[in-house]
């Protein structure tokens, strides 16, 4: 039976126990989805010297069966850790792992691995050829700053490329290597992208997106030509945030040119909350690009050790380029609907009165739920004014104007993982501001009342949503609630916000779900679908025990 661990999730990917971080080598192969991940098989804390690649398979991206580790730090070229990397399907159908090893001299080098038995549909065992590393540490790159090779792609010249994070001669860069046979690689003279802004832009990901009017389809990593743009994404270790830019990839020079100027940190965010080291793959079964990302803990290491595990993966998201061609849109993969059990009685048409409107969403276990709600606003007349300079820091604005601070249009939204007395609750809400000639829609996740436990990191997440509020006069919100993680998708997935919560009321009672309105105008709930989600089978063996 599931241990009474109130932090453990019901439908997010996590190993049965121990530490996990980055998603590695996600791939759809032979009718099954594989997820590898940075794994410490010996405990609940990160220990780079003991990093293995954990490995699970799934038929639906929701239920997962744990397999043995795919890579362990056993060879001279990875003795001090098997760090992050990717999987590429070669023309003959063989999957190849490209990963960073920390070798016996603690240098970061790039290695290759192939399935020991290519006929094993589960790809349980992987062989690491003795000729590794296939890319040793270059002379101008520091030993600690050369890692995270991407899935490789083919240029129109039929040559392979992969991108990799490096600091070369003091410049944070994303380098490109090229090969005819996937074994012998040569570095391109110029980086894919370089910036003095970043000391080390980790976990790069370069992928194509379709430009046809916000087409939701995904493209194979090697796609190029008409109707294709590219996205370069990087992870910045100092702020633990993922950034991306839409731009043009030139497969002649192997360069990426972002549409919008500026250094990495001025790029757009994959998620305005707590999410890092994201990696996408092309899901050929459903022709979609799917994103995984690591969501670490906000509580103390002591708590993690006591629980025996640390780290979640975000729920897999399909992602595509929005109609305007400027930003990505992300949405939970539709397979999540297979977990929907009870549905809350409809609240459509409910009016939330101003200054304290509150309606409970009943009839479901709201600690594992999927909520899809649309708020309709009657008028923008009372929208608070905002100095345009404040657009630069939505987090600060959300901190300053939390869910309990009365507003004009908003705050309105959801209270999730709430105790019956509201002593603990996490607010996910919107506030509409009037600028000089237009309006801005701010989305916040306010954790200040999420849990009463002291000495725990309680950030406030904020982000503006790129929607035309004057045209729509409504704002949509989809929120996945799963015990200690709350993932929100505002504006149809234009602004995403992931939060970790550790409420204590769950020990003695159940959680509650509300819609609320602290604005000066009434707000109407024009749509609300709230489903209880069943627990998925995630890395548990058939008798429901948790396998290590």
365-400: b (≥16 Cβ within 10 Å) or e = bbbbbbbebbbbbeebebbbebeeeeeeebbebbbe
> What is the C-alpha separation between 319 and 313, in angstroms, rounded?
16
Could you tell me the smallest distance in angstroms from the CB atom of residue 98 to ligand DQQ?
A: 12
Which residue in the set 203, 318, 513, 540 belongs to the binding site for ligand DQQ (CB under 6 A)? 203
Could you tell me the smallest distance in angstroms from the CB atom of residue 331 to ligand DQQ?
A: 24
- Concatenating the DSSP letter of every residue in 444-478 gives EEE-TTT---SSS---EEEEEE---HHHH-EEEEE
Nearer to ligand DQQ, 201 or 497 (CB): 201
- φ, ψ for residue 395, nearest 5 deg: -60, -45
Which residue in the set 14, 20, 21, 52 belongs to the binding site for ligand DQQ (CB under 6 A)? 21
Could you tell me the smallest distance in angstroms from the CB atom of residue 137 to ligand DQQ?
A: 14
Which residue in the set 84, 330, 419, 484 belongs to the binding site for ligand DQQ (CB under 6 A)? 84
Based on the residue annotation, tell me whether 303 is a catalytic residue of this protein. Answer: no
Nearer to ligand DQQ, 236 or 442 (CB): 236
Q: Does 107 bind ligand DQQ (CB under 6 A)?
A: no
Nearer to ligand DQQ, 51 or 194 (CB): 51
Could you tell me the smallest distance in angstroms from the CB atom of residue 22 to ligand DQQ?
A: 5
Look at the chain and count its residues: 548
> What is the C-alpha separation between 334 and 60, in angstroms, rounded?
10
Q: Does 148 bind ligand DQQ (CB under 6 A)?
A: yes
Q: Where are the beta strands (DSSP E) in 505-546?
A: 512-517, 523-533
Nearer to ligand DQQ, 103 or 283 (CB): 103
Question: Helix, strand or coil for residue 418?
Answer: strand
- Residue 547 to residues 16, 60, 305, 493, Cα–Cα distance (Å): 6, 20, 17, 34
Size of the site for ligand DQQ (CB under 6 A): 13
Residue 325 · residue 211 · CB < 8 Å: yes
Residue 475 · residue 467 · CB < 8 Å: yes
Could you tell me the smallest distance in angstroms from the CB atom of residue 46 to ligand DQQ?
A: 7
Nearer to ligand DQQ, 87 or 418 (CB): 87
Could you tell me the smallest distance in angstroms from the CB atom of residue 21 to ligand DQQ?
A: 5
Q: Does 426 bind ligand DQQ (CB under 6 A)?
A: no
Which residue in the set 67, 83, 414, 497 belongs to the binding site for ligand DQQ (CB under 6 A)? 83
The total of other beta-carbon atoms located within 10 Å of residue 245's CB is 21
Which residue in the set 7, 27, 35, 51 belongs to the binding site for ligand DQQ (CB under 6 A)? 51
Nearer to ligand DQQ, 202 or 322 (CB): 202
> What are residue 376's DSSP bridge partners?
474, 524
Residue 432 · residue 377 · CB < 8 Å: yes
Give the x/- contact pattern for ligand DQQ in 222-261, rule: CB under 6 A: -------------x--------------------------
Question: Helix, strand or coil for residue 135?
Answer: strand
Q: Does 147 bind ligand DQQ (CB under 6 A)?
A: yes
Nearer to ligand DQQ, 9 or 38 (CB): 38
Nearer to ligand DQQ, 295 or 496 (CB): 295
Which residue in the set 67, 115, 194, 202 belongs to the binding site for ligand DQQ (CB under 6 A)? 202
523-533 vs 460-465, strand pairing mode: unpaired
Window 342 to 371, contacts with ligand DQQ (CB under 6 A): none
Catalytic annotation, pick one of 22, 103, 205, 482: 22
Which residue in the set 8, 12, 22, 486 belongs to the binding site for ligand DQQ (CB under 6 A)? 22
- Residue 96 to residues 127, 176, 251, 278, 436, Cα–Cα distance (Å): 10, 18, 22, 20, 54
The total of other beta-carbon atoms located within 10 Å of residue 228's CB is 16
Window 258 to 277, contacts with ligand DQQ (CB under 6 A): 277
**For the chain, what percentages of helix, strand and coil (3-state, to nearest 5) are there?**
5, 45, 45
416-436: b (≥16 Cβ within 10 Å) or e = bbbbeeeebbbbbbbbbbbee
Q: Does 38 bind ligand DQQ (CB under 6 A)?
A: yes
Nearer to ligand DQQ, 85 or 407 (CB): 85
Q: Which residues contact 158 (CB under 8 A, 6 or more apart)?
A: 180
Greatest extent of the chain over all pairs of C-alpha atoms, in Å: 70
Angle at 112 between CA 106 and CA 114, to 5 degrees: 140
Closest CA to 522 of 347, 354, 348: 354
CA within 13 Å, CB half, 245 = 18
> What is the C-alpha separation between 180 and 493, in angstroms, rounded?
39
Could you tell me the smallest distance in angstroms from the CB atom of residue 73 to ligand DQQ?
A: 11
Catalytic residue numbers read 22
Chain positions contacting ligand DQQ, by CB under 6 A:
21-22, 38, 51, 83-84, 100, 147-148, 202-203, 235, 277
């Amino acid at each position: 039976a599931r241990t009474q661990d109130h932090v453990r999730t019901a439908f997010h990917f996590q190993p049965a126990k121990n530490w996990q971080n980055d998603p590695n080598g996600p791939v759809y192969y032979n009718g099954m989805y594989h997820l590898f991940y940075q794994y410490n098989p010996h405990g609940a804390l990160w220990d780079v010297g003991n990093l293995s690649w954990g490995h699970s398979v799934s038929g639906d991206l929701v239920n997962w069966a744990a397999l043995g580790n795919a890579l362990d730090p056993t060879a001279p070229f990875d003795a001090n850790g098997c760090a992050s990397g990717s999987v590429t399907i070669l023309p003959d159908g063989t999957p190849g792992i490209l990963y960073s090893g920390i070798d016996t001299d603690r240098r970061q080098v790039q290695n290759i691995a192939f399935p020991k038995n290519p006929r094993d549909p589960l790809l349980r065992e992987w062989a690491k050829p003795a000729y590794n590393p296939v890319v040793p540490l270059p002379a101008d790159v520091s030993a600690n700053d050369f890692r995270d090779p991407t899935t490789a792609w083919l240029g129109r010249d039929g040559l392979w490329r992969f991108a990799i994070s490096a600091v070369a001669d003091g410049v944070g860069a994303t380098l490109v290597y090229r090969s005819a046979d996937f074994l012998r690689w040569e570095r391109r003279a110029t980086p894919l992208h370089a910036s003095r802004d970043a000391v080390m832009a980790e976990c790069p990901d370069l992928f194509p997106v379709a430009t046809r009017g916000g087409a939701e389809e995904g493209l194979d990593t090697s796609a190029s030509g008409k109707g294709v743009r590219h996205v370069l994404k990087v992870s910045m270790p100092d702020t633990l945030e993922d950034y991306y830019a839409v731009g043009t990839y030139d497969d002649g020079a192997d360069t990426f040119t972002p549409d919008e100027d500026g250094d990495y940190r001025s790029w757009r965010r994959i998620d305005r909350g707590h999410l890092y080291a994201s990696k996408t793959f092309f899901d050929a079964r459903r022709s979609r690009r799917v994103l995984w990302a690591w969501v670490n803990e906000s509580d103390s290491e002591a708590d993690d050790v006591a629980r025996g595990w640390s780290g979640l993966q975000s729920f897999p998201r399909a992602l595509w380029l929005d109609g305007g061609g400027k930003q990505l849109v992300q949405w939970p993969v539709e397979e999540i609907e297979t977990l929907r059990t009870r549905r809350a009685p409809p609240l459509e048409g409910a009016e939330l009165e101003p200054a304290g409107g509150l309606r409970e969403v009943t009839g479901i276990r709201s600690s594992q739920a999927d909520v899809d709600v649309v708020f309709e606003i009657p008028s923008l007349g009372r929208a608070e004014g905002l100095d345009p300079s404040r657009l630069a820091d939505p987090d600060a604005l959300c901190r300053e104007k939390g869910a309990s601070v009365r507003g004009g249009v908003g705050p309105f939204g959801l209270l999730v993982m709430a105790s019956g007395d509201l002593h603990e609750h996490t607010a996910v809400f919107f506030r509409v501001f009037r600028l000089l000639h237009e309006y801005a829609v701010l989305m916040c996740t306010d954790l200040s009342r999420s849990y009463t436990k002291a000495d725990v990191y309680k950030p406030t997440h904020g982000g503006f949503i790129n929607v035309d509020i004057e045209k729509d006069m409504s704002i949509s919100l989809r929120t996945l609630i799963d015990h200690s993680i709350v993932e929100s998708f505002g504006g149809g997935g234009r602004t995403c916000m992931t939060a970790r919560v550790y409420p204590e009321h769950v020990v003695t009672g159940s959680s509650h779900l509300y819609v609320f309105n602290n604005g000066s105008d009434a707000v109407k709930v024009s749509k609300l679908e709230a489903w209880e989600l069943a627990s998925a089978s995630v890395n548990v063996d058939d008798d429901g025990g948790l396998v290590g």
